[in-house]
Amino acid sequence: MTYKTVLVHVDPSPHASCRMRLAADIAARHGAHLVGAAMTGISRFAYPVAAAGHADPYLVETLAHLDRLARSRAEQALDAFRAIADTFQPLSYEATLFSDEPSGGMSLRARYSDLAVISQFDPDDADRMTLADFPESVMLESGAPVLIVPFAGDITSAGRRPLVAWDGGANASRAVRGALPLLQSAERTDVVVINSDKDPGLHGDQPGDDIALFLARHGVKAEVLREESPIDVANCLLSLAMDRGNDMIVMGGYGHARLKEIMLGGTTRTIFQSMTVPVLMAH
C-alpha cells in the first residue's frame, strides 16, 4: 500500500508554510502526487443563486467583488505553495483554486485523496480564513485520513516515529489503515493500549498483540505498550509521545455533526485543542 495523492490546504495563514512543507515531504517520500487546494471562501452553493436571473443585482455585484478579492488572495497563497513544492523536485504537483468555503471544499476534495493535510485551528491567527470547527469538519465529513498539524512549534517531520493509539474501535482501525504507508516507512512504531481493562472484549488476552500482528504482516515492526493511567486518555497520549520522542499520533476520531453543531468525543476534543505533534485521524 502506498499514497498516490496527497492533498494539502493552501491559504495565507502564517502556519501554511509548515503545513505545505510537511505535505510535500510526505508526497516526495512516497512518490505521490501533491495537490495544493486553495478556496475562495465563498460556498459553492452561493454561485448558482447569484447567477439566477431573479437574483438581487446588489447581491450579484457584492458576490462578484468578494470573489475577485478572494481569488487574488488565494492565488498569492498558491504561488507560495508552488515555490515550496519546487524545492522538493522531483515531485509531481498541481496548484488548484476551488470556488468553495474551506470546510466543504477540503472535505469534498479529500474524498479523491489518500491523505489530507490541514492545520490545527489557531485562535490567534488574524489571517485565518477558516472557522474554529474547520479541522473537525474535515475529519468528520471527508471520509479520508486527515493529518492535522499543530500551530505551535516548527514541525519538520511526521511519521518517522509514530505512536498508534489503539482502542480496538472501528475508527482506530480506519486510522491505522490510512497511516499504513507512513508506518511501513517509519524508523520505529509504538502501539499503545491505555486502560484496556475497561473494555477487555475488544482486546483479547494480550491487549495490542492482534494489531501488532496485523502491522507485522504489512512489514511494520511495532512495539506494544500497555498503559494504565489515572489521567485522561488524551493527556496520557500527549505525555507518552513527548517521553518517547514520537513525531506523530495515529488515532480514531470520534464525534458527529448534528445540525450545525459538532459533537466530539472527549479524547478527540482534547487532542484537537492541545496537540503537540501532528495527529493522523480517521472517522
CB burial readout 184-223, b (16+ within 10 A) else e: bebeebbbbbbebeeeeeebeeebbebbbeebeeeebebe
Q: What is the pLDDT of residues 130-158, one digit of tens each?
A: 888 999 999 999 999 999 999 988 898 89
Where are the chain's structural domains? 5-149, 162-282
Q: What is the pLDDT of residues 225-282, one digit of tens each?
A: 999 888 899 999 999 999 999 999 999 998 877 655 677 888 999 999 999 999 999 9
Contact 74, 40 (CB under 8 A): yes
* pLDDT surpasses 60 at 53: no
Class of domain 162-282: alpha beta
5-149 against 162-282: fold identical: yes
Using a pLDDT cut of 70, give the percent of the chain over it: 94
Mean pLDDT of the chain: 91
Please state the rounded mean pLDDT for residues 35-57: 75
Of the given ranges (19-33, 106-120, 253-267), which has the lowest mean pLDDT?
253-267
Instruction: Tell me which range, 45-49, 51-55, 225-229, is most confidently predicted by mean pLDDT.
Output: 225-229
Give the global pTM.
Answer: 0.92
Among the CATH numbers 2.60.120.1600, 3.40.50.620, 3.90.650.10, 3.30.70.330, which is that of 5-149?
A: 3.40.50.620
